[in-house]
Amino acid sequence: MLGVEGLSRRFGGIYAVREVRLQVEQGELRGVLGPNGAGKSTLFHLIAGQLSPDSGSVRLRGEAIDRLGPARRAEAGIAIVYQNDRIFRGMTLRENVMVGAHSRASHGFFAAALRTPRFRKEERELAATADAVLDEVGLGGQADQLADSLPLGQQRSLQLARALAAAPSVLLLDEPASGLRTGERQRFAATLQKLRSRGVAILWIEHDVRLVTSLADRITVLDLGSVLAEGTPSEIRAHPGVIAAYLGGPEEALD
């Protein structure tokens, strides 16, 4: 579903990402681990199109998407949930999620400006989609509440809902569990399981190693911009290079 081939990006002569290769299959949940400065967020920005690589390629369903900007990549099926707060303030939860769902709409600018019957019909459908996705992430019944009023954990859930409203085939998650309480983490984990069963390919940056290793099918570990190790959670925990890099024992190496 998603292929990264020899991706490299330098800043001031220093590699943030160097010759990274990985593939994420349909329905696979791939964790990406590494310390601060390992190149995880840069990798995501390269995949999403917010940065251009110095070399290498990104493929979606086998087709190169290197010439597509972020908006076109989103339309092609790549959605991203950022670590930082990126909600639309002054808008309700439903309106926030409908922003993500609009990539699925077929009406044009003039239909929206004139509020044609087609536009109104699609808006009702998008609002229903938004309500369903909000319910899925545990925010059902709060659709008319202003997004500004949500605590941090629920804002993360709202960002996930907005991404899911676009019905992505590839979902990029940049530490989405940060700030979530125990119940919210459990709901988040259940949501990821549902997405995986639907065939969504998930690439997930996370510092909560126990959470990643309990859910991921495979894990890629980055160190200084390069792939240090790749394998199943059990293989990663026992990998000599990972243990040495993180100065821990097999079970605590990435804690």
With beta carbons less than 8 A apart as the criterion, state whether 227 and 27 touch. Answer: no
Q: Which residues pair with 22 in a beta bridge?
A: 4
pLDDT digits (tens, 9 = 90+) for 223-248: 999 999 999 999 998 999 888 876 45
pTM for the structure as a whole: 0.85
How does pLDDT run along the chain (255 residues), one tens digit per residue?
Answer: 999 999 999 999 899 999 999 999 999 999 999 888 899 999 999 999 999 999 999 999 999 999 999 989 998 999 998 877 678 889 999 999 998 776 555 554 445 555 666 667 888 889 999 999 999 888 988 999 999 898 888 888 898 899 999 899 999 999 888 777 888 888 888 888 988 999 999 999 987 788 888 999 999 999 999 999 999 999 998 999 888 876 454 444 444
- State percent of the chain over pLDDT 70: 89
**pLDDT at position 119, please?**
62
* Amino acid at residue number 49: G
Where are any strands of DSSP class E within the chain?
Answer: 2-11, 14-24, 29-33, 55-60, 63-64, 78-81, 170-174, 201-205, 218-223, 226-231
Where along the chain do its domains lie?
2-246
Over the chain, what is the mean pLDDT? Answer: 86
Q: Which fold has domain 2-246?
A: Rossmann fold (3.40.50)
